[in-house]
Structure 1
Amino acid sequence: MSDFNLSRRSFLSSMSLGALGTMVPQQLSVAGGKGLHHKPKAKRVIMLFMAGGQSQLDLFDHKPDLHKLYRQELPPSVIGNQRFTAMTKNAQKLVAPSKFKFKRYGSNGIEMSELLPNLGSVMDDLCLVKSMYTESINHDPGKTLFCTGTELPGNPSMGSWLSYGLGTMNKDLPDFVVLPSAYWSGKTNVQALYSRLWGSGCLPSKHQGTSFQSKGDPVLFLSNPKGVSASVRRRMLDTLGSLNKKHLNELHDPEIQTTMAQQEMAYRMQSSVPELTDISNESKATLDLYGPEVMNKGSYARNCLLARRMAERDVRFIQLFHRGWDHHSNLPTHLTGQCRDVDHPTAGLIKDLKQRGLLEDTLIVMVGEFGRTAYGQGNFKADNYGRDHHPRCFSALLAGGGIQGGISYGQTDDFSYNVVDKPVHVRDLHATMLWQLGLDHQQLSFPFQGLDVKLTGVNPASVVQGILS
């Protein structure tokens, strides 16, 4: 090998630190979904990401006395030294209590909005964490932090870390699949999603997420072009593989072998993905669990059903993105529509997994990048008010995978503005998710540019023991 072609990674690879150049520590070389640092409670994750930021005050964190303070200035003692977005900075901060009623659900009578009756029906399977918080005040850094552990773009995503740390459970499907939702027609102010949210960062590219499309082929370029049969495709890959092997022997670049493996995966997916996405054999009773929108490709309901089918086939990390929760105005109308999208299908997913014996080892997390403020924005008349971004407290729902059901964890102040008991940072949630899958967030790392890169970074993070069963 010439000095010209000898990259740092190639050199390390040639020194027997792994044919794929992943530089996996010895204790992380176990594949097949087994816990590596300790015995796992879960094998897979379904992340239901509510992009835009749900209003915890209107959905999960009941503050019945706020109506007494309607349109009064939020006390400075409550606000403290909080940063604000440019949409709030010079505006009055007038209290806007929720217009929605709350009901008690489950054996423990946990309160949740009337907008989520189906989720309420499975409350005994849910853990409601009311004390989430983050530093991110705007959408892109907030989503990036939640998906990759840092606000800075370019780092490995959660699904990539699990693929890297635990290996594959199904050789015919990707370890990490992303399902973005189409959105209901009345929605406005919908932020874009970026592929870096499911990227592999410094990890080998084989660990990046695969985004499924709602139109055409579920995966881009899945079908062969006209005139190219399966046998022709096979011969093409064999020839290309021979050339790539020659190139690999000359350059020792691990990404060449990654490319070869991904090309073979793509070939197998030409059979496995159409079978996965064909729901024609699902019973009417099963389809009814997810609601009428399940028949619409690209809907959140359809993606929830696909998530269950992927869980059955041992896809490691399944991430649904449902956009449109950014309600700076007309919140009551838009929030009602959003809940109509997600309430029935999410509850159906939990019920379906449970009846198939999959909920026990499938960790479900439903959360957005931050919450919404207790003060209103826009026109207070009728239903036109909205709420600004709020990182200091928000809520998350968890189920399955060794998480206690039927409990509420953490507490906020009387304004749903600050966490006052059992705070849970985004990184704490990451550490807990890894822990349930048998991984210690302090041990799962990847050497890159002189650093041991981790999902939780160098910041403090702790497993939330109080929600574990």
Structure 2
Amino acid sequence: MLSPLYAWNRRNFLRIGAAGVAGTTLAGMGAKPLQAAGTSAAGYGQAKSVLIVMLSGGPSQLDMWDPKPNAPAEVRGEFSPIGTKIPGVAVCEHLPKFAQQADRWSLLRTLAHQEHNHLLATHVALTGRPTPLPRGGSDLDRVETRNDFPNFAAALDFVRPRHDGIPTGVSLPNYLIEGPLTWPGQHAGFLGAKFDPWQVQGDPNAPDFRMQALAMREGMNIDRLKSRQSLLEELNHGRAEHKNADTQTLRDQQQIAFKLLTSGKMVQAFDIHRESEETRERYGRNKFGQSLLLSRRMVEAGVPIIQATMGIVQTWDTHVDNWGRLKNTLLPQLDQGLAALMDDLDASGLLEQTLVIVMGEFGRTPKVSTLPGQTIPGRDHWAHAYSGLFAGAGVLGGQVLGETDEQAAFPVTRSWSPADICSTIFNALGVAPDVTIADPLERPHLLQNGALIQELYSGRAG
């Protein structure tokens, strides 16, 4: 369901935002990274890994991180607030573990952009860029294409390629796809399939979970695999005269597969069964909790960008039974999994070099509503103000940044956008501010296309 302001906001957003990518593309064409000198910006280079906990569908700011207990009943919802370790700051009563760990987090309450459609907002959230629209057709049907801007992991892989068998990006536990709709922003876009993050499909909580892609068939070992790789390279070399975009993509993917197969580190990282039953119980024996545990193992293996999505696509799209779904499933699983993750990262020292971000593509409407044909109320899409969590890699914990109005509908202090999150991620990973890539029309784009959220590190309001 769309906000009545949707059409006006989309036109304004596209007019004042960064230029979208347009036109027909060939995968990987025209992209040239520029290396730049270092920087002294806050948080620069402090992260070896970034973990994005993606709450797909849009979690309610009012019913989680930004409660408004004095608002009218049709706004405040059914939950009560509880205090946290941050003096004077309250969150939802169904986040008790977070409340006790609030001193580890920066809670940013004024994220905002102008996109109220799931697919388009997901592209904005995962790339920091407006979604390029098709020529003709409805933007409501806009799905993933190779015209898209590369997501964070793909762009990092392009400007800082790895050759050690460790993928630059891993996304788990599933691709964001529903029927004919594939959410944009999940791959390398115009950079081509060579730079796509590795997408994990499967439930880490399943007893038989294992990465089939990293499993060698019976009788195969590393030496035999390398021998076959050499033979394949000779065959490919002999067919160079038939090289085209499709065959090059296949060869790129073959090289990536060989590197992963011969990397014992990744094989071990994906073997979640190495964890004790006690540890697995701490995270929660459910798909999301075990995905966070697997994400922690990706951090330990040195993967630079990990995306862990809670459940399936649009899990947090609570148009119907908002409070029942939050109370009975979503919030308990989120609260337990995040608490275990933060305990482990902190105890191992990895939190000092891991930027953890918890966010959705937008928030939920202040006003409660009931969809036609439904009897249990919920909240609709809302991108004008929503909340996100940040921790680790130099981020100052125990603070709240930004303030919304009495209904958590609009910021009353400065707001930050997905473009600002983009800049903050690349800054944390030590990507210099003047590094660019070119789109297929040879137009340069700064990777850091927003403003660094310096307040995460300084504690000073913007």
TM-score normalised by L of structure 2:
0.78
Deviations 1:191-225 (A, max 9, x none): 99837532111225332111112267744544345
Counterpart of 1:173 (choices 166, 169, 194) is 166
SS at structure 2 position matched to 1:198: coil
Counterpart of 1:468 (choices 437, 452, 457) is 457
SS at structure 2 position matched to 1:56: coil
Counterpart of 1:265? 259
Deviations 1:143-177 (A, max 9, x none): 11111223234220111122223333x72331100
Counterpart of 1:320 (choices 308, 327, 332) is 308
Counterpart of 2:421 (choices 418, 429, 434) is 429
Counterpart of 1:412 (choices 404, 412, 419) is 404
Counterpart of 2:52 (choices 27, 31, 47) is 47
Alpha-carbon distance between aligned partners in 1 of 2:36 and 2:434, rounded to the nearest angstrom: 13
Gap change, CA 1:50 and 1:226, over 3 Å in 2: same
Counterpart of 2:390? 398
Counterpart of 1:134 (choices 92, 110, 113) is 113
| AA in 2 matched with 1:25 | L
1:277 matched to 2:282? The reply is: no
SS at structure 2 position matched to 1:430: helix
1:207 matched to 2:207? The reply is: no
SS at structure 2 position matched to 1:130: strand
SS at structure 2 position matched to 1:445: strand
- Deviation of 1:416 after TM superposition, in Å, equals 0.8
Deviates most, 279-288 or 320-329: 279-288
- Deviation of 1:439 after TM superposition, in Å, equals 2.2
SS at structure 1 position matched to 2:272: coil
| AA in 2 matched with 1:318 | I
Contact 1:179–1:319, Cα closer than 8 Å, also in 2 = yes
Deviates most, 428-437 or 394-403: 428-437
Superposed, 1:192-271 pairs within 5 Å as: 194=182, 196-214=184-202, 218-219=210-211, 221-224=213-216, 232-247=224-239, 258-259=252-253, 261-269=255-263, 271=264
Alpha-carbon distance between aligned partners in 1 of 2:250 and 2:322, rounded to the nearest angstrom: 50
Counterpart of 2:332? 340
1:155 matched to 2:146? The reply is: no
- Deviation of 1:130 after TM superposition, in Å, equals 0.3
- Deviation of 1:241 after TM superposition, in Å, equals 0.9
Contact 2:266–2:301, Cα closer than 8 Å, also in 1 = no
SS at structure 2 position matched to 1:450: coil
Alpha-carbon distance between aligned partners in 2 of 1:60 and 1:124, rounded to the nearest angstrom: 14
Alpha-carbon distance between aligned partners in 2 of 1:213 and 1:433, rounded to the nearest angstrom: 25
- Deviation of 1:466 after TM superposition, in Å, equals 1.2
Counterpart of 1:5? none
Alpha-carbon distance between aligned partners in 2 of 1:65 and 1:369, rounded to the nearest angstrom: 27
Superposed, 1:15-164 pairs within 5 Å as: 23-27=32-36, 39-66=44-71, 69-70=72-73, 95-148=74-127, 149-152=129-132, 153=144, 154-164=148-158
| AA in 2 matched with 1:96 | V
Gap change, CA 1:397 and 1:335, over 3 Å in 2: same
Alpha-carbon distance between aligned partners in 2 of 1:151 and 1:455, rounded to the nearest angstrom: 16
- Deviation of 1:228 after TM superposition, in Å, equals 6.1
> How many aligned residue pairs are there?
406
SS at structure 2 position matched to 1:377: coil
Gap change, CA 1:191 and 1:103, over 3 Å in 2: farther
- Deviation of 1:99 after TM superposition, in Å, equals 1.1
Gap change, CA 1:301 and 1:9, over 3 Å in 2: closer
Identity between Structure 1 and Structure 2 (%): 25
Extract unaligned runs of 5+ from structure 1: 1-7, 14-20, 29-34, 71-94, 184-188
| AA in 1 matched with 2:293 | L
SS at structure 2 position matched to 1:57: coil
Gap change, CA 1:198 and 1:219, over 3 Å in 2: farther
Contact 2:365–2:380, Cα closer than 8 Å, also in 1 = yes
| AA in 2 matched with 1:341 | Q
| AA in 2 matched with 1:199 | H
| AA in 2 matched with 1:223 | A
Contact 1:52–1:191, Cα closer than 8 Å, also in 2 = no
Gap change, CA 1:158 and 1:173, over 3 Å in 2: same
Gap change, CA 1:231 and 1:379, over 3 Å in 2: closer
| AA in 2 matched with 1:128 | L
Contact 2:49–2:304, Cα closer than 8 Å, also in 1 = yes
Deviations 1:314-373 (A, max 9, x none): 001000111411111211101111112211011111110010000011000000011111
- Deviation of 1:111 after TM superposition, in Å, equals 1.2
CA RMSD of aligned residues (A): 3.4
SS at structure 2 position matched to 1:374: coil
Contact 1:128–1:407, Cα closer than 8 Å, also in 2 = yes
| AA in 1 matched with 2:105 | L
SS at structure 2 position matched to 1:289: helix
SS at structure 2 position matched to 1:325: coil
Deviations 1:393-443 (A, max 9, x none): 000001101211000000111111111102111111111121122224553
Alpha-carbon distance between aligned partners in 2 of 1:400 and 1:98, rounded to the nearest angstrom: 32
| AA in 2 matched with 1:50 | L
Extract unaligned runs of 5+ from structure 2: 1-24, 133-143
Alpha-carbon distance between aligned partners in 2 of 1:125 and 1:24, rounded to the nearest angstrom: 35
Gap change, CA 1:262 and 1:277, over 3 Å in 2: closer
TM-score normalised by L of structure 1:
0.77
Alpha-carbon distance between aligned partners in 1 of 2:259 and 2:64, rounded to the nearest angstrom: 42
